[in-house]
Amino acid sequence: MRVSSLSPVELFVLLSILKVAVVLLILLTAVAYTVLLERKVVGRIQNRWGPSRVGPFGLLQPLADGAKLFLKEDLMPDHVERTLFILAPILALICALMSIAVVPFGAPHLVHGVNLFQIADVNIGLLIILGVTSVGVYGIALSGWASNNKYSLLGSLRSSAQMVSYELALGLSLIGVVLRSGSLRLSDIVASQSAHGMRSWNVFGGFQFIAFFIYLIAAYAETNRSPFDLVEAESELTGGYHTEYSSMKFAMFFMAEYANMITVSCVATLLFFGGASSPFGNLLPAFGGPIVQAILPVLWFVAKVFFFLFLYIWVRGTLPRFRYDQLMGFGWKFLLPLAILNIIATSLALAWHG
């Protein structure tokens, strides 16, 4: 069947399904290789090799890990809340994978009226990411409660409190960016930063670096990563909320955590580092054909996301864990007021310049 014989609606549906499949495949591969990257980099930070046996440079390690997790026995302890015990990891993974749908990976590139590099360009893209993240709390909260285990329950209580607290600072830190671009649509936010390369990125030219650091810290807490990984603090809680999980259910939590890291890195790139726009702006001459020009922004985007993923791992290899009261005090007494001050300063500056 030729493309022109399809109606616009059919074409839209087909292209959308194709986009979803491709993005999902890339995201899951990225998740697997982020795990490998983490093991490699943390290994180097701790002066050891990390995985190096499976395949060249250990590159096939994710496949071996996946096969191992898939073939493991799926244990279900007695007296667990069966429905919720099974539902929790699914919920966590779905929420982690969903928010990637509104992320624009490259410059808008329309083919038959469908944007190739973004699954859905919605007006409230940023709010959708925030909403999906906030619903993601349930996966962790319910898993701990359904496990019928004290350590799991303590881990999930810690995580719910932590995530609800840091969500406020996280949401407020993004308002400065939204004020500057005047839109909640992610492609508009990227477009507002792409005029003069690095100078118009929100983190440099937009003077949103305070908001950027608040976002980064709050996002680390939101994804339960070190130095805020009290949820699964091994020395205190054995494994935290996923103590009782094994096999693919554990793998789902694991994948959800890394998918959330990727989402956070994408949002940091989009909101503060100009998304898929080049850091050199128009200084770089347009070389190659139209295909190269379409692919190049995607490469910039991937490079920036990779930087943030590396930062995540670097921080994990460097900083010790917070104490719980320090975590709460830091979130409520420092980050939240600072985020509010940033909003006031940004709106005053915008009002001053008209």
Partner 1 sequence: MYLVLFFLFAGLCVAGALNLLLQRHPIHSALSLLVVMSSLAVLYLLLGAEFLAAAQIIVYSGAIVVLFVFVIMLLNAGAEERTHGSWTAYIAGFPGAAAIFCVLAFIFLSQRKLLGTARLGDYIVTTRDLSQVLFRDLLLPFEVTSILILVAILGAVVLARKEQ
Binding site for partner 1 (CB under 8 A): 81, 84, 122-124, 127-128, 130-131, 133-135, 137-138, 141-142, 144-145, 153, 156-157, 160-161, 163-164, 167, 171, 184
Shortest Å distance, C-beta 223 to partner 1? 15
Taking Cα atoms as reference points, which of 345, 118, 297 lies closest to residue 193?
Answer: 297
Sign of the dihedral through C-alpha 328, 334, 339, 341: positive
- Note whether 168 and 343 are within 8 A (CB): no
28 vs 135 by CB, closer to partner 1: 135
Strand partners, 114: 111
The whole-angstrom separation of Cα 344 and Cα 352 is: 12
145 vs 228 by CB, closer to partner 1: 145
Shortest Å distance, C-beta 133 to partner 1? 8
The whole-angstrom separation of Cα 157 and Cα 161 is: 6
52 vs 183 by CB, closer to partner 1: 183
121 vs 317 by CB, closer to partner 1: 121
Task: Tell me the residue length of the chain.
Answer: 354
171 vs 281 by CB, closer to partner 1: 171
34 vs 152 by CB, closer to partner 1: 152
Shortest Å distance, C-beta 202 to partner 1? 19
Helical segments of the chain, H only:
8-45, 61-71, 82-98, 125-135, 137-146, 150-181, 186-191, 209-222, 234-237, 247-272, 290-318, 324-329, 336-353
Peptide bond into 51 cis (omega under 30): no
Over the range 294-303, which residues count as b (16 or more CB within 10 Å of their CB) and which as e?
eebbbebbbe
DSSP conformational letter for 55: S
Shortest Å distance, C-beta 150 to partner 1? 10
Shortest Å distance, C-beta 304 to partner 1? 26
Over the range 219-232, which residues count as b (16 or more CB within 10 Å of their CB) and which as e?
bbbbbbbbbbbbbb
Shortest Å distance, C-beta 135 to partner 1? 6
61 vs 224 by CB, closer to partner 1: 224
The whole-angstrom separation of Cα 49 and Cα 39 is: 9
Shortest Å distance, C-beta 119 to partner 1? 17
